[in-house]
Structure 1
């Protein structure tokens, strides 16, 4: 790649660069002091959207690249045929700011174009109240040589409204459990159900089954509970 195209970027890199700068600016605005040194309210700023208009040169290049040398042998004489190497052209699309043209030995076709768009700020969770998970579990109960742990998950939003008919998933975090205890469990814990729907009160109940040897040895067991992208982590161990 010559000096002219050394500053070229992909469209992904351009857009990610804009978003990083936008996030940094919004972070600084959000962290401004609400009051000045005299106790007067400061003007607070937010960025609802950002329009951008970039004039760039789009270039489709085919840069020759040579593969490793492959020798072709003959059954009669190994030196009868010379070694051969394959040359192929790898195309790619790059963008760079417009600047004076320079000569290049590469085959390329360039188009001057304008990239326009808008980044729009959106509220978390699409503006609806944030969803919360509250998990409660009871002390393990030994029954039939197995420990049972009743667990209750309450699903509600930040406004205090209970969410019914929502799917709650229960999973055992084997990797974290093994890492913390430096050893794997004898028996993997299980659930009465892997997925449970919340009832009219926004409650989903389940039961975790734990091997008594693992529990009595003082190991810490980690579990992940989630409703979509909302996660809650709990740990169970013998005190």
Structure 2
């Protein structure tokens, strides 16, 4: 292997390792719960960029018996060596999801009262353009629903299987909107809080509803 190839491979390994560590750190930050136990939004963090500087001392050693090797240590008196000290600096920059293209944006509301509600959703993108034919998945966030219900004093909300949708996957029309029915069963506690999630692409929003929530 040539000296240049060895140096390039070594630096590549160091930089790729830094990039992987940065990605893992951002994933850990992104995994933080979006809501606290009372349904209040929690702070979200992201790493926009990371500046780095790598200093290294590279020694090329020629062995007395022939051959060469690259090391990071002093050489013996029977060996000839040349030494290079260098610094490499740079910046890792976060690339927005979609590589900078407009991202989907959802807006939704639940209307009605009692056990029968209507969920309406509107889809657009961050450039303000209406999204036609976009699929929006609707689900119940059981963990968040149970946590909020418990905080409201409902010990056994019986949420699993007690909330149904007319359609669980909505497709937006020419106006970028779609709607479906939301039905609460008789077994669902009146004071239970139900958290709905709506997802399309990278966008996820949450709504709270329930029998006693107007």
Question: TM-score scaled to structure 1, two decimals?
Answer: 0.50
Task: Tell me whether 1:165 sits opposite 2:133 in the alignment.
Answer: yes
Q: Counterpart of 1:181?
A: 149
How far, CA to CA, are the matches of 1:130 and 1:24 in structure 2? 19
Per-residue deviation, 1:192: 1.1
Q: Counterpart of 1:138?
A: 111
How far, CA to CA, are the matches of 2:48 and 2:168 in structure 1? 43
Task: Tell me whether 1:193 sits opposite 2:167 in the alignment.
Answer: yes
| 8 Å CA contact retained: 1:163, 1:202 | yes
Per-residue deviation, 1:229: 1.8
Per-residue deviation, 1:125: 3.0
Distance 1:213 1:160, change over 3 A: same
Distance 1:52 1:152, change over 3 A: farther
| 8 Å CA contact retained: 2:57, 2:72 | no
1:214 to 188, 206, 209: 188
- Unaligned residue ranges in structure 1 (runs of 5+): 1-9, 28-46, 57-96, 103-116, 142-146
RMSD value, Cα: 4.0
Q: Counterpart of 2:196?
A: 223
Mapping for residues 63-212 of structure 1, pairs under 5 Å: 98-100=71-73, 122-141=95-114, 147-182=115-150, 183-185=156-158, 187-212=161-186
Per-residue deviation, 1:195: 0.8
Residue 180 of structure 1 aligns to a residue whose secondary structure is helix
Question: Which stretches of structure 1, 4 residues or more, deviate above 6 A after TM superposition?
Answer: 50-56
Q: Deviations over 1:121-152 (max 9, x none)?
A: 534432222321000221235xxxxx111111
Residue 106 of structure 2 aligns to a residue whose secondary structure is strand
Give the count of matched residue pairs.
150
Per-residue deviation, 1:51: 11
How far, CA to CA, are the matches of 1:24 and 1:181 in structure 2? 34
How far, CA to CA, are the matches of 1:194 and 1:54 in structure 2? 57
Distance 1:14 1:126, change over 3 A: closer
Residue 99 of structure 2 aligns to a residue whose secondary structure is helix
How far, CA to CA, are the matches of 1:235 and 1:13 in structure 2? 42
How far, CA to CA, are the matches of 1:165 and 1:25 in structure 2? 32
Question: TM-score scaled to structure 2, two decimals?
Answer: 0.55
Per-residue deviation, 1:214: 2.2
